[in-house]
């Protein structure tokens, strides 16, 4: 199944390289298509953000999902299986959201400027007051402790997969997913509270 | 914290979350016993519920679900929980679902109407579909299990979940033979015939609706726009929405015209499907996936599909399709429903007759055709039968001829003359082609061809002034030349005989080909003449008569250039002719010029390859989707690139290296475009791997970007590996694979990674050694073997700890 392949990506480039290297062993054509896929996701997300639709706070992420849905149905990319695709998509989502959060934080520190549109991308997390960057860091720690559990959390949290979908992707029972996810989120909460 | 500690903490926490209050506290102290550190961790984690992550994850799922379907993944419908969307059609989405009670893990497909489109009309049709499917119980039709309406009032039905590949993907991935493809297709016909008997027309036959399971059973899905043929039902007429929904590649002319749909419309769609399965491409070309109505009408209702044997890219496949399968498919694809097979049953019947070697109904029964069929069924006695049949024919011919001499009545003589001529031609073309691919048919072919030639010869002497007859005669000589010694095809190995026949063809047709001599610019004569010259050149290149080969190629080239200048409808054909001339000349010049002993020859060869390039580009500009032309241009690029990088010989020339890399890239780009059109074409796939290796090799020669070179090798090896596994007897594929390892080894060697280099040289040798045992005479294999051994010795020397 999917290894915890992207441990600590320092940059988009590194993220892509790590992902592509892992993929190359599985599916050369897919690895080749990856940068294009990622670019398309990002530009779609940004393109949306420029359009400013305050009435629909959830839409940016929906858009990203739409983008990867479209990519998935593209015939010229031979997605080996659904699992592979969703796993990578979750990683991409994580990367995109973390990037946005980083930029937003930098802007806040720099100028004290009013919230820019980037915020809306994180509307889901903001509503629950979830510190995206802290979650990302905590998830990296969990990756070191328990790679599969971290992956389950990633698929649920960043990938937006339901429990049955996550089970399907990883080829394990929904009961296991539920159990792992419950303990993972408790652990994440503890880590974030402890470090803040 | 260590991973081990976390595992222990996790177990206790997970069990504890099922409990509340005192029970939980008691459980924790029992589970941790006197491990205070563990207990501290467990309690700390338990103190954080992390509910907000749950809410955020659920919100994300809804967002994702909103994009994916109706936000329905994860929800329950009846006894089922939707797992994920697996398909989407005009009316709704199909989900993979599981029984939510998890009593047993049965997977089903649930088709659910899209919200917002639940108009009365669609709802009505949706209900109709439920009824139709409930009536159809057949092993090759996906079974309807259940149906109902969701709480929100959306109709759904539960179907057998078919885990399988589209029939097209399945055939190409499994590399099925033409026979196997037809057999699989016949099962689809049987299922559809069953549906027709139940008064159901599918109306949307396409690969996405025919999945093949792992055990090779096709299943027909989605009678989505099927309508009852019940007379009580309202008249069948296509709605605008329906017309928008149809799948262009398989839609029948009546469907795009908005005329009534019948079972014969399904025959058409089946014909289009089988066309694609056999030829590798569909019968029609569209400018894009969703063509405008005007284009649909033009292409489907008026455009004539090419014969499958012409459309197919693979020459061997072309050959197999020529004749019966061409006719069967074109009959199924007739514009007028009345001219097609009457029903799926008679279509299937004709295919079965083809498989059994019986004469098919889609073809007029000429004598030569039936005789060919007879021979086909009785392969063992081909030669004897051929002799007997020929004896019979000869007798007939003699009789006719003597009758002609005896009879003085001109009319009758003329008719006999025509009879003989037709007989000889039918013999030469139909009969010969029918037996050409039979094993051991070469001798029979020669007999057939030479005998037919004899009679044509006689006739030609009697009517020496008749132009059409002269042309036929030339064509006949070309054919016999092919049988005698056309390189790379089954032949008698009689190169001298082939040269004589080709020369004779050239002699006959040369006076007719003179442009100043007669009307219509003599296109057909010039075509034959250039073919004769090219054929001569090909044989002569084989027999090392390089000067003669060059001269003949040049003659063909001049004819081709003249034809192109004259203009007319066949420009593309002449361009292809010119490309093959230039390539042939380059090859002839370069043949034997290993290690570039003669730099002038090397330059002249490159010059010819370069001249082919712009012509090939023109062809692509005119036919951007033609796979043979894409491959042709790719080949031209590869040839030049292959000549460019020898830095060590021609003097270190970075310009050449850069140009070579650019050409390698163009080569890859073209092949990938070809691949898009024909994902199942294994030759193109092979060429892609070949291009990657050639590029890696060039980098090794220049000793630059070695890491990239090694990575390209990896990808090539992966492709070669799959191709070799698919056809273990194919020595060519094995050779490719070994070469991939060899170049990879070299890249590693140049980077100073001796052990990895040795690993790949060993892999290469492991393939080559058994290969040379099987084909001891193969020069290429022994050359590769020698190279790999030499390199391996180098790595051993470099890696030795001395």
- pLDDT, mean over chain A: 63
Please say which residue of A75, A95, A115 terminates a domain: A95
Length of chain A: 196
**CATH number, domain containing residue B318:** 1.10.510.10
pLDDT at B554: 92
B287 near B303, Cβ under 8 Å?
no
Residue B189 and residue B106 share a domain: no
**From the candidates A122, A186, A194, A195, which should be mutated to test the interface with B, based on the most B CB atoms within 10 A?**
A186
pLDDT at B480: 77
Cα B548 to Cα B420, B474, B553, B588, distances in angstroms: 37, 21, 9, 10
For residue A5, is it within any domain?
no
Cα B37 to Cα B4, B12, B29, B42, distances in angstroms: 13, 13, 12, 9
Is the model's pLDDT at B777 over the cut of 70? no
Q: What is the average pLDDT across A181-188? A: 94
For residue A178, is it within any domain?
yes
Contacts of B44 in chain A (CB under 8 A): 190
For residue A114, is it within any domain?
no
Token pair listed for B633 = 């241009």
Q: In total, how many domains does chain A have? A: 2
Residue B124 and residue B100 share a domain: yes
For residue A117, is it within any domain?
no
Q: Can you give the pTM of this predicted structure?
A: 0.39
For residue B626, is it within any domain?
no
B630 near B577, Cβ under 8 Å?
no
Q: What is the average pLDDT across B767-791? A: 79
Compare B221 and A85 and report the one with higher pLDDT.
Answer: B221
Q: Please state, for a pLDDT cut of 70, what percent of chain B lies above it.
A: 71
pLDDT at A92: 67
Please say which residue of A48, A80, A95 terminates a domain: A95
Q: How far is B691 from chain A (nearest CA, A)?
A: 15
Please say which residue of B107, B125, B160 terminates a domain: B160
Q: How far is B60 from chain A (nearest CA, A)?
A: 4
Residue B193 and residue B146 share a domain: no
For residue B575, is it within any domain?
no
Task: Say if strands B107-113 and B144-149 run parallel, antiparallel, or are unpaired.
Answer: unpaired
CB atoms within 10 A of CB B761: 28
Compare B339 and B106 and report the one with higher pLDDT.
Answer: B339
Is the model's pLDDT at A52 over the cut of 50? no
For residue A56, is it within any domain?
yes
Residue B288 and residue B173 share a domain: yes
CA–CA gap between residue B487 and residue B485 (Å, rounded): 6
**CATH number, domain containing residue A172:** 1.10.10.10
Question: Which tens digit of pLDDT belongs to each residue from B155-198?
Answer: 777 888 888 888 988 888 888 889 999 999 999 999 988 888 77
For residue B132, is it within any domain?
yes
Tell me which of A55-64, A163-172, B610-619 is least confident.
A55-64
Domain enclosing residue A140, as ranges:
128-195
Does A186 contact B13 at a Cβ distance shorter than 8 Å? yes
For residue B10, give the DSSP letter.
H
Residue B232 and residue B87 share a domain: no
Does B60 contact A163 at a Cβ distance shorter than 8 Å? no
H helices of B644-728, where?
A: 647-650, 654-677, 682-702, 706-726
Cα B539 to Cα B72, B490, B568, B574, B780, distances in angstroms: 67, 13, 30, 21, 20
* A189–B contact, CB cutoff 8 A: yes
Q: In total, how many domains does chain B have? A: 3
pLDDT at A24: 57
Tell me which of B18-32, B67-81, B229-243, B680-694 is least confident.
B229-243
B716 near B690, Cβ under 8 Å?
yes
Residue B349 and residue B244 share a domain: yes
Torsion of CA B64, B66, B68, B73, to 10 degrees: 80
Does A129 contact B52 at a Cβ distance shorter than 8 Å? yes
Does B57 contact A160 at a Cβ distance shorter than 8 Å? yes
Token pair listed for B571 = 């420009």
B187 known member of a binding site: no
Contacts of B61 in chain A (CB under 8 A): 156, 160-162, 165
CA–CA gap between residue B629 and residue B618 (Å, rounded): 10
* A185–B contact, CB cutoff 8 A: yes
Residue A89 and residue A137 share a domain: no
pLDDT at B152: 63
CA–CA gap between residue B41 and residue B181 (Å, rounded): 63
Residue with tokens 């009789």: B399
Residue B80 and residue B21 share a domain: no
Contacts of B51 in chain A (CB under 8 A): 185
For residue B654, is it within any domain?
no
Q: How far is B711 from chain A (nearest CA, A)?
A: 9
Residue B235 and residue B309 share a domain: yes
Residue B34 and residue B148 share a domain: no
Residue B297 and residue B197 share a domain: yes
Compare B604 and A105 and report the one with higher pLDDT.
Answer: B604
Residue A134 and residue A188 share a domain: yes
Q: Write the residue in A128, A165, A189 that is nearest to B73 by C-beta.
A: A165
For residue A80, give the DSSP letter.
-
Q: How far is B171 from chain A (nearest CA, A)?
A: 16
Domain enclosing residue B238, as ranges:
164-363
Residue A68 and residue A134 share a domain: no
List, in order, residues 6 or more apart from B509 with CB less than 8 Å away.
B470, B471, B474, B525, B528, B529, B532
Residue A135 and residue A85 share a domain: no
Q: Write the residue in A156, A168, A181 that is nearest to B84 by C-beta.
A: A168
CB atoms within 10 A of CB A111: 8
| Long-range contacts, B315-322 (Cβ 8 Å, 24+) | B317/B178, B317/B278, B317/B279, B317/B280, B319/B436, B319/B437, B320/B178, B320/B437, B321/B178, B321/B278, B321/B279, B322/B433
Task: Look at residue B262 and give its three-state secondary structure.
Answer: coil
For residue B679, give the DSSP letter.
T
Tell me which of A76-80, B339-343, B531-535, B680-684 is least confident.
A76-80
At residue B274 the predicted structure's pLDDT band, cuts being 50, 70 and 90, is very high
Closest CA to B282 of B9, B577, B625: B625
H helices of B378-516, where?
A: 382-406, 410-426, 432-435, 442-462, 467-485, 495-513
CA–CA gap between residue B606 and residue B311 (Å, rounded): 32
Closest CA to A5 of A112, A140, A131: A140
pLDDT at B691: 92
Enumerate residues 30 to 89 of chain A having a beta carbon within 8 A of any beta carbon in chain B.
58, 61-63, 65-66, 69, 76, 82
At residue B335 the predicted structure's pLDDT band, cuts being 50, 70 and 90, is confident
At residue B716 the predicted structure's pLDDT band, cuts being 50, 70 and 90, is very high
Q: Which of B380-384, B390-394, B496-500 has the highest mean pLDDT?
A: B496-500
For residue B445, is it within any domain?
no
At residue A54 the predicted structure's pLDDT band, cuts being 50, 70 and 90, is very low
pLDDT at B710: 94
Q: Write the residue in A130, A146, A164 that is nearest to B98 by C-beta.
A: A164
Does B52 contact A149 at a Cβ distance shorter than 8 Å? no
Is the model's pLDDT at B67 over the cut of 70? no
pLDDT at B182: 94
- pLDDT, mean over chain B: 76
pLDDT at B669: 93
pLDDT at B708: 94
For residue A55, is it within any domain?
yes
Please say which residue of B363, B396, B423 terminates a domain: B363
Question: Which tens digit of pLDDT belongs to each residue from A16-37?
Answer: 565 556 555 555 555 565 566 5
Residue B129 and residue B171 share a domain: no
Contacts of A182 in chain B (CB under 8 A): 14, 17
Q: Which of A90-94, B64-68, B664-668 has the highest mean pLDDT?
A: B664-668
pLDDT at A17: 60
Residue B187 and residue B122 share a domain: no
Please say which residue of A49, A73, A95 terminates a domain: A95
List, in order, residues 6 or more apart from A131 with CB less than 8 Å away.
A192, A196
Please say which residue of B97, B128, B160 terminates a domain: B160
Q: What is the average pLDDT across A139-165? A: 87
For residue A136, is it within any domain?
yes
For residue A164, is it within any domain?
yes
Q: Which of B18-27, B96-105, B767-776 has the highest mean pLDDT?
A: B18-27
């Amino acid at each position: 199944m999917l290894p915890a392949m992207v441990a600590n990506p320092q940059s988009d480039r590194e993220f892509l390289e790590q992902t592509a290297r892992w993929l190359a062993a599985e599916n050369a054509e897919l690895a080749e298509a990856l940068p294009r896929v990622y670019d398309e996701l990002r530009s779609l997300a940004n393109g949306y953000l420029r359009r400013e639709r305050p009435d629909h706070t959830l839409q940016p992420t929906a858009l990203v999902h739409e983008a990867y849905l479209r990519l998935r149905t593209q015939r010229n990319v031979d997605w080996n299986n659904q699992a592979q695709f969703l796993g990578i998509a979750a990683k991409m989502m994580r990367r995109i959201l973390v990037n946005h959060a980083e930029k937003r934080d930098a802007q806040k520190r720099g100028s004290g400027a009013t919230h820019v549109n980037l915020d809306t991308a994180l509307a889901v997390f903001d509503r629950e007051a979830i510190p995206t960057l802290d979650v990302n860091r905590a998830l990296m720690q969990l990756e070191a402790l328990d790679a599969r559990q971290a992956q389950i959390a990633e698929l649920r949290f960043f990938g937006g997969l339901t429990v049955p979908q996550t089970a399907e992707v990883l080829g394990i029972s929904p009961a296991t997913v539920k159990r792992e996810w419950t303990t993972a989120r408790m652990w994440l909460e503890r880590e974030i509270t402890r470090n803040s | 914290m260590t991973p081990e500690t976390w595992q222990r903490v996790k177990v206790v926490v997970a069990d504890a979350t099922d409990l509340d209050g005192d029970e939980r506290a008691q459980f924790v102290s029992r589970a941790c016993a006197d491990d205070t550190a563990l207990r501290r961790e467990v309690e700390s984690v338990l103190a954080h519920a992390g509910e907000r992550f749950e809410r955020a994850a659920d919100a994300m799922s809804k967002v994702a679900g909103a994009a994916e379907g109706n936000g329905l993944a994860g929800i329950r419908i009846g006894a089922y929980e939707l797992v994920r969307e697996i398909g989407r059609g005009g009316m709704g989405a199909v989900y993979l679902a599981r029984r939510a009670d998890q009593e047993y893990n049965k997977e089903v497909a649930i088709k659910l109407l899209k919200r917002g489109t639940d108009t009365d009309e669609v709802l009505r049709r949706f209900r109709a579909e439920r009824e139709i499917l409930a009536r159809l119980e057949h092993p090759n039709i996906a079974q309807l299990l259940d149906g109902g309406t969701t709480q929100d009032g959306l109709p759904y039905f539960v179907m057998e979940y078919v885990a399988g590949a589209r029939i097209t993907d399945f055939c190409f991935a499994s590399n099925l033979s033409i026979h196997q493809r037809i057999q699989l297709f016949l099962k689809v016909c049987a299922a559809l015939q069953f549906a027709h008997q139940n008064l159901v027309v599918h109306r949307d036959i396409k690969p996405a609706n025919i999945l093949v399971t792992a055990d090779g059973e096709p299943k027909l899905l989605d009678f989505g726009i099927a309508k009852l043929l019940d007379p009580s039902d309202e008249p069948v007429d296509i709605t605008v929405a329906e017309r928008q929904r149809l799948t262009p590649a398989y839609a029948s002319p009546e469907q795009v015209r908005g005329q009534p749909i019948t079972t014969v419309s399904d025959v058409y769609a089946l014909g289009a499907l089988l066309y694609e399965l056999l030829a590798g491409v569909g019968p029609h070309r569209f400018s894009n996936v969703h063509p405008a109505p005007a284009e649909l009408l033009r292409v489907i209702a008026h455009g004539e599909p090419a014969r499958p044997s012409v459309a197919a890219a693979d020459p061997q496949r072309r050959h197999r399709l020529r004749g019966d399968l061409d006719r069967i498919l074109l009959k199924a694809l007739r514009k007028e429903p009345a001219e097609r097979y009457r029903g799926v049953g008679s279509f299937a019947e004709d295919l079965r007759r083809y498989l059994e070697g019986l004469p098919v109904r889609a073809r007029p029964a000429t004598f030569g055709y039936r005789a060919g069929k007879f021979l086909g069924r009785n392969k063992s006695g081909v030669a004897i039968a051929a002799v007997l049949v020929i004896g019979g024919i000869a007798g007939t011919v003699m009789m006719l001829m003597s009758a002609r001499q005896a009879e003085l009545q001109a009319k009758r003589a003329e008719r006999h003359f025509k009879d003989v001529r037709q007989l000889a031609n039918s013999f030469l073309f139909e009969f010969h082609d029918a037996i050409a691919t039979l094993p051991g048919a070469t001798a029979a072919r020669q007999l057939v061809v030479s005998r037919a030639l004899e009679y044509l010869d006689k006739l030609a002497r009697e009517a020496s002034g008749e132009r059409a007859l002269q042309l036929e005669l030339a064509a006949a000589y070309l054919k016999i030349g092919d049988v005698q010694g056309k390189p790379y095809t089954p032949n008698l190995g009689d190169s001298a005989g082939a040269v004589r026949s080709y020369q004779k063809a050239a002699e006959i047709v040369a006076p007719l080909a003179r442009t100043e001599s007669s009307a219509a610019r003599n296109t057909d004569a010039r075509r034959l003449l250039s073919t004769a010259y090219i054929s001569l050149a090909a044989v002569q290149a084989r027999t090392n008569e390089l000067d003669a080969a060059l001269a003949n190629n040049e003659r063909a080239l001049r004819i081709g250039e003249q034809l192109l200048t004259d203009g007319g409808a066949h420009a593309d054909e002449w361009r292809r002719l010119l490309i093959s001339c230039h390539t042939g000349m380059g090859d002839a010049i370069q043949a034997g010029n290993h290690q570039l002993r003669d730099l002038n020859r090397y330059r002249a060869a490159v010059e010819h390859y370069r001249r082919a390039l712009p012509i090939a580009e023109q062809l692509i500009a005119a036919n951007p989707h033609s796979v043979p032309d894409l491959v042709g241009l790719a080949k031209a690029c590869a040839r030049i690139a292959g000549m460019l990088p020898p830095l060590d010989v021609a003097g270190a020339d970075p310009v050449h290296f850069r140009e070579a890399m650019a050409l390698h890239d163009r080569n890859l780009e073209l092949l990938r475009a070809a691949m898009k059109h024909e994902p199942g074409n294994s030759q193109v796939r092979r060429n892609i791997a070949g291009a990657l290796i050639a590029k890696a090799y060039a980098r090794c020669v220049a000793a630059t970007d070695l890491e990239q070179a090694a990575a390209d090798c990896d990808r090539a090896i992966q492709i070669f590996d799959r191709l070799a596994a698919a056809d273990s007897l194919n020595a060519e594929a094995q050779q490719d694979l070994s070469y991939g390892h060899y170049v990879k080894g070299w890249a590693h060697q140049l980077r100073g990674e001796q052990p990895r280099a040795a690993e790949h040289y060993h892999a290469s040798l492991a393939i080559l050694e058994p290969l040379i045992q099987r084909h001891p005479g193969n020069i290429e294999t022994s050359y590769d073997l020698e190279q790999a051994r030499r390199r391996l010795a180098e790595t051993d020397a470099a890696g030795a700890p001395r």
